[in-house]
Structure 1
Amino acid sequence: MTAAHTPAGDGPLRITVPVPNVHSYRHLGFAVDLIQADALARHHRSPGRSVRVVGGTDENSAVTVRLARSTGVPPRALADRDAAGLPELLTALRTPLDARVRTSASARHRELVERLWRDCLGAGDLYQGEYEGDWCEACGGFVAASGGRCPRHGTPVAPATEPNWFFRTSRYRDRLRDAVACGALRIVPAARRNEVLAFLDSGVEDMSVSRPRERSDGWGLPVPGDPGQILYTWWDVLAAYLDEGEDGHHPWEQDAEHWQIIGKGILRVHALHWPAVLLSAGRPLPGALAVHQHLTTRGLPPQDGAGAGFDPVALAGHHGADALRWWVLREMSAGDDTDFTVGRMLRRANEDLANSVGNLVNRVVGMVHRYRAGRVPDGPRDPGTDIAVGSARAETAEALAAFDFRAATAAVLALSLHGNRLVERTRPWELAKAEAQGEDPAAARRLDAVLAEAVAVCRALAELLAPFVPDLAERIARQCRGTPLPPQSPVYPRHQEEPAAP
């Protein structure tokens, strides 16, 4: 087993997701973060491990300032209004957060941000300087211009300078490289780890961490000791990863392992600048940084162009959370961006959840009712099924330890395939006919064994599917629980597939 596949321990675990802009978090990219983090949390909680998932909303950014200027609505009212919608997304996706940080409204968060600043200042890693770059009036900020124009608005940019505070990321280059190379800061998949090592080998620049107060209309957290400067949103947002909510606990006071789930677009700041801040402040590094590819729609990022039409709340409400969760976990590639369409999502759900898993459970429960009045019989277990269940558990755990959600869901589907093959190979309906006609004295005993074995597979599927598709897993568990079993009811009816988009 390689280092990348080393199973996690059994101590406390904190999983963090990116803290998106409060005005634009309802897009598929953020849904991926939430779904992956929730699947990991459910998996690791099942044996009784203490797990907390931490997230929230970025409310102190320049986006809030721009919206306030354009709409005439005060920044506080905008932040309060849009933050209020996050619980709807979390409920729709079945992805609860144990700590939900509002960066503009949490006194605990502000205290934490200021403490982190003082620690880094005391370490000599914060200094004042001049920031130079291309300024876009439409954005109200500096941009990475292309051909003298803003990449977002297409409008001309102008060179500008302003006083800023900077953090000495460059001081930590060697320590960061050692941490990534030896796995102390584990980055998966390997391609992203190699990308970070290449960043470090090419040199690391210091990070601007503030902006003038007048540019942000006074909105945001002030730099401690310098009220004329507002903390840049990255510093503010990244500190939220250390928060545990308003209960008074901080992760560096606990022996908690920390995993971060992010998309590749924010790799650099999470793998370089944020770990450097932690080292400066004397905090432990995250144990793992799991980086996923982009989820696109017709080749566009989900927050742009055609992708903006896919609201995860609407998708989950219309088709069920399990369909969206399963597609994300089953289809997203570790190597390439993955394109999303509703038709692909529904076809995958029909093939795996309705046809393979759902059909198996429906057939097995129906036969237990038909042949044994709903009572699961006792019977000798075929060692092959015990091996299949054990292999599915081990392969799922190993895949999730490597943050390989495709391999984990494939292991669960393999158990479903074993169950369907068991039914086809043993043909319980023929055993029942032989029992009824008295043709085979051993038929009753063999039928009992087959039904007991098939129910055991279904119960194992309910357990293994729970991290990925919790609603379906609970329906399977209810169907296969108790004596007699509840009346048979389809656990996952087929979706009406939509025609492919032109």
Structure 2
Amino acid sequence: MSAAATFYVTTPIYYVNDKPHIGHAYTTLACDVLARFKRLDGFDVRFLTGTDEHGQKVEKSAEAAGMTPLALADLNSANFRDLAGVLGCSNDDFIRTTEPRHLAACQALWTRLVEKGDIYLGAYEGWYSVRDEAFYAEDELIKGPGDSRLAPTGAPVDWVKEPSYFFRLSAWQDRLLKWYEDNPDCVAPASRRNEVMSFVKGGLQDLSVSRTSFKWGIPVPGDGAHIMYVWLDALTNYITALGYPDTSGDFARYWPNALHMVGKDIVRFHAVYWPAFLMAADLAPPRRVFAHGWWTNEGQKISKSVGNVIDPLTLIETYGLDQVRYFLLREVPFGNDGDFSHRAMIQRINSELANDLGNLVQRTLSMIAKNCDGRVPPHVDYAEMTEDDWTLLDNSRDLINSVRPAIDRQAFHDALEAIWIIIRSANVYIDRQAPWKLRKTDQIRMETVLYVLAESIRNLALLLSPFMPTSADKILDQLGVSADRRDFASLGAGQSLTSGVELPAPQGVFPRFVEEAAG
């Protein structure tokens, strides 16, 4: 038997100067859905998340809080580790850039880049944003109050002059453009690919990759006066976790199928600098970088100063984990910006989860419990099944062929819509067939209709499992599906429900959300 195909999915590592917010939850959930889907589809998956803990911003924040940088990193890294747990994430590893394995990987990559002639010592003079941990050219800045300048993100910038090592980014312009052209899916969505290509075509300057004005970072090998630029440090986490500098083992196994999921604000680091670092070290670039959009809150840009940051833990407490997982990946096409509103959240929960899916499952299982002695309907005659029966059954069994390509495009919204088309058609089918009426006139026909519904729900629940694992498991439990038959190899006719199997008493899976009355 041949080895399973591999899949490596990463979140950006989250900066420990932040508290977890909806943006962090969104990226992590998207990666979790991908990892779960691929595992169920027979892939050998590695899913990585973690925290980025070095840099001037952390050093300054720690000083202001009267803490050491490591103490602050320990505290805030734990918040992100806890968030992954609360979100029900299935990550295989959680990396911190303060770990010894990461220091070893960063210094090995640096040494390799020096050996290849792509790092040299010079002096940096220019604009730097501590908040963004990024350098900006004069023509990228925007006007601030009075005569001040700001980064394009709105962050303050300072004029910095200090000795610095540089990476020869300018030498990689043509090779980067060739990589984008030869691999049209390496940066997605298309709008981000166009943005990245336009930036590279505009000309690349050599990149300052060390600092001497602060100490909280990874020392440059052989020159302790310098620490590595935080982005060279941070990006290396993706290969640290695969054992680099050892390029056999996990690195050889997973790296060829690496997908980095990032927010659109850091696409340049992942789709320009990172591939150039890797190619310069004779390593392959990632297979794909996907940059998703940002969330606003009830139409307003999310901002700490405005006080409208959305806490994912509060959302989960209010609405339920699977409801939040569903909403975030259903509400907007992945890659676009999205607006969070409580009204939209409640609408999705009540109309799609409670009414469409929850009602379908509850009606079907309650009728089986009441009219089939609590067993999978026993007298199913496939020869007597109608075109209406086969249409629903075949569509549910073939649904993987619509969902899989959508997942491979990171089009979570399209994948869920494909599933919901079948859920809606199942509701139309149950109303049209009216098994509650058949109970009085044709018991065997009623059992066939209920079997078609139960088997269709089984296929739907399997495909919903990556999105809403707890709820999908509750549905599959009520259908008597054993734990070893809950992967995608079990979809379709080969693993159909067995007639006559005793089922547990049905229980509702998706309650309606009722807002508490004011006062």
Q: How does 1:137-152 map to 2 (within 5 A)?
A: 144=141, 146-147=143-144, 148-149=147-148, 151=150
Aligned-partner SS, 1:72:
coil
Aligned-partner SS, 1:274:
helix
Match of 2:502 in 1: 484
For 1:246 and 1:179, the matched residues in 2 are separated by 25
Match of 1:78 in 2: 72
For 1:245 and 1:182, the matched residues in 2 are separated by 26
Match of 2:415 in 1: 408
Distance 1:134 1:172, change over 3 A: closer
Aligned-partner SS, 2:196:
helix
Superposed displacement of residue 385, structure 1:
2.1
Q: How does 1:78-117 map to 2 (within 5 A)?
A: 78-104=72-98, 106-117=99-110
Match of 2:323 in 1: 323
Superposed displacement of residue 138, structure 1:
9.4
Match of 1:239 in 2: 236
For 1:176 and 1:357, the matched residues in 2 are separated by 46
- Report the AA paired with residue 272 of structure 1: V
Aligned-partner SS, 1:254:
helix
Superposed displacement of residue 85, structure 1:
2.0
For 1:283 and 1:71, the matched residues in 2 are separated by 40
Asked whether 1:460 is paired with 2:459, we answer yes
For 1:444 and 1:156, the matched residues in 2 are separated by 74
- Report the AA paired with residue 403 of structure 1: Q
Superposed displacement of residue 87, structure 1:
2.5
Superposed displacement of residue 86, structure 1:
2.1
Match of 1:437 in 2: none
For 2:21 and 2:169, the matched residues in 1 are separated by 31
Superposed displacement of residue 243, structure 1:
2.5
For 2:127 and 2:241, the matched residues in 1 are separated by 37
Aligned-partner SS, 1:467:
coil
Match of 1:167 in 2: 167
Aligned-partner SS, 2:261:
strand
Match of 2:497 in 1: none
Distance 1:150 1:79, change over 3 A: farther
For 1:154 and 1:454, the matched residues in 2 are separated by 54
Match of 1:120 in 2: 113
- Report the AA paired with residue 205 of structure 1: Q
For 1:355 and 1:401, the matched residues in 2 are separated by 29
Aligned-partner SS, 1:309:
coil
For 1:155 and 1:386, the matched residues in 2 are separated by 55
Superposed displacement of residue 141, structure 1:
8.8
Deviation digits for residues 344-377 of structure 1, max 9, x if unmatched?
A: 2222122211111111000000000111111111
For 2:167 and 2:29, the matched residues in 1 are separated by 33
Match of 2:13 in 1: 19
Segment of structure 1 superposing worse, 95-104 or 146-155: 146-155
- Picking from 55, 64, 68, the partner of 2:62 is 68
Segment of structure 1 superposing worse, 335-344 or 61-70: 335-344
Greater relative contact order (Cα < 8 A, sep 6+): 1
**How high is the TM-score relative to the length of structure 1?**
0.89
Superposed displacement of residue 307, structure 1:
6.5
- Report the AA paired with residue 130 of structure 1: A
For 1:175 and 1:390, the matched residues in 2 are separated by 45
Aligned-partner SS, 2:267:
helix
Superposed displacement of residue 251, structure 1:
4.3
For 1:465 and 1:140, the matched residues in 2 are separated by 39
CA contact (8 A) 1:297 1:307 kept: no
Aligned-partner SS, 1:85:
helix
CA contact (8 A) 1:343 1:497 kept: no
For 1:384 and 1:22, the matched residues in 2 are separated by 52
- Report the AA paired with residue 129 of structure 1: G
For 2:158 and 2:39, the matched residues in 1 are separated by 52
Distance 1:397 1:157, change over 3 A: closer
Asked whether 1:495 is paired with 2:488, we answer no
- Report the AA paired with residue 428 of structure 2: R
Superposed displacement of residue 156, structure 1:
8.1
Superposed displacement of residue 49, structure 1:
1.3
Asked whether 1:272 is paired with 2:290, we answer no
For 2:363 and 2:191, the matched residues in 1 are separated by 43
- Picking from 214, 219, 223, the partner of 1:222 is 219
Distance 1:237 1:307, change over 3 A: farther
Aligned pair count reads 480
**How high is the TM-score relative to the length of structure 2?**
0.86
CA contact (8 A) 1:21 1:61 kept: no
Q: How does 1:338-487 map to 2 (within 5 A)?
A: 338-378=338-378, 379=380, 380=382, 382-434=389-441, 443-481=442-480, 483-487=501-505
Superposed displacement of residue 427, structure 1:
0.3
Distance 1:458 1:139, change over 3 A: closer
Match of 1:5 in 2: none
Q: Share of identical aligned residues, percent? A: 34
Match of 1:34 in 2: 28
Deviation digits for residues 61-93 of structure 1, max 9, x if unmatched?
A: 222101122121111211112212223201111
For 1:284 and 1:353, the matched residues in 2 are separated by 43
CA contact (8 A) 1:259 1:288 kept: yes
Superposed displacement of residue 135, structure 1:
6.0
For 1:135 and 1:182, the matched residues in 2 are separated by 33
Match of 1:297 in 2: 297
Segment of structure 1 superposing worse, 222-231 or 304-313: 304-313
Superposed displacement of residue 497, structure 1:
4.3
Segment of structure 1 superposing worse, 228-237 or 93-102: 93-102
Any unmatched runs of 5+ in structure 2? 482-500
Distance 1:396 1:371, change over 3 A: same
For 1:299 and 1:414, the matched residues in 2 are separated by 29
Q: How does 1:186-197 map to 2 (within 5 A)?
A: 186-197=186-197
